[in-house]
Chain A
Amino acid sequence: MDEMAHSTMKRIGWAVLALAAVGLGGCKQERPPGVYDVSIGEAYRRLFADKLADMVYAKQCGILVHVTPVGIPGYQVTWRVHSSGREVVQFTAVLTAISANQTKVEIRMPPAGSGEMYDGSQFYKRPAFNQPLRPAVQEQVAAILEGRKFDVRNIGPGRDKVCQVHRAGLETGLVFRVDD
């Protein structure tokens, strides 16, 4: 009787394993966040070539900003953001090869106070971007590496009231300057 029960359990165990294998085989493997299906060389090439125009348009406030990518090939791309000749913020995408065709991208923002620049809790008299900025940078990087358009719906609304007022001014032709 014991032997029979043991044999039945064994069979059930194999069946469960087989089913799990079939189930897993049917699923498309989810990429971990920040990992993209491109080689590190291609990721660098694409990011370095991009001035993030869509993200800038979606998030900019009332000052005019210019984005300049600088990079260390195969390692990182930093976007420096200037307004009236002054650097107002920069952020970096650090690249790590996961495999020949997969690259992990980590976004780094400069620290500020107890958080980081444009994290939603900072105050800027002449903000460059609506806060929080990190989700917008992540979305822009994802759009570039996934070969799709930047989708503003993926980043949530901005919370910076000063920025919103300045942006409304810019949209009606009133340009602010970082040194006003």
Chain B
Amino acid sequence: MKPFSFGVILIACVAAYLYYIYPNAADGRVYPVTIAQARQDLAKAELPPYVFASQPLDVTVRNNGDTEVIWIIRRKSEELFRYTAQLTAEDKGATTRVKLKLEGAKGRTEDYAKNLADNPKIRDMYFVAMEERVASTLLRRPFDMSRIHAAMASAAVANLPNIRKSADEAAAASAEMERSTIQRAYRNEATGARR
């Protein structure tokens, strides 16, 4: 066999192996549980930790028929986005393929679908984190932060201008709060109130 042909075959084998061990996320992932078990477990799954930072969010989990679990994420009653896990039984029902979808909502105050589309790194992080939540739930293992570190780092870099803006706003808000606390102390003193 010529060295060139050997090289081509080697590369093809590596590609096939990589395709096998890293299946296309769009095809979903297969878990060794029945579809009923998957539906039941996922209905109890919470949002991934840390990813949504300080935003207080409400999550509603809904089963849509036997084949979909939907997490609807809201803030102040306004839907921001939703995850949908589409479940398909495989291997004669012994395993379940889970395809996860993330869709932004067109909320009352903002178009979150557009926000997600405009910030693909953030979107990827939300997606990867929820995929890990699904995997850890169905494989009955703890949530593994190391599996989302890369997506988080990438999102953090993409989000640096917003982080800086947010930090500036937080600093300004903090300074304003301190100033108003001191002003209140002077007002209390003027009216004779102590401490």
Contact = CB atoms under 8 A, between A and B. Distances in A.
Contacts of A174: 195
Nearest to B175: A171
A167 to B, nearest CB: 9
Interface residues of B, number: 11
A49 B166 CA distance: 39
B181 A172 contact: yes
Contacts of B185: 64, 170, 173, 175
Interface string A31-63: 000000000000000000000000001001000
Interface in A136-180: 170-175
Q: How large is the interface on A (under 10, 10 to 19, 20 to 34, 35 or more residues)?
A: under 10
Contacts, number: 22
B114 interface: no
A170 B184 CA distance: 10
A173 B194 CA distance: 11
Most chain B beta-carbon neighbours within 10 Å: one of A60, A170, A171, A172: A171
Contact of A64 (B178, B179, B189): B189
B158 interface: no
B180 to A, nearest CB: 10
B184 to A, nearest CB: 8
A172 B188 CA distance: 14
A57 B186 CA distance: 12
Interface of B: 178-179, 181-182, 184-186, 188-189, 194-195
11 contacts: A57-B179, A64-B186, A170-B181, A170-B182, A170-B185, A171-B178, A171-B182, A173-B184, A174-B195, A175-B185, A175-B194
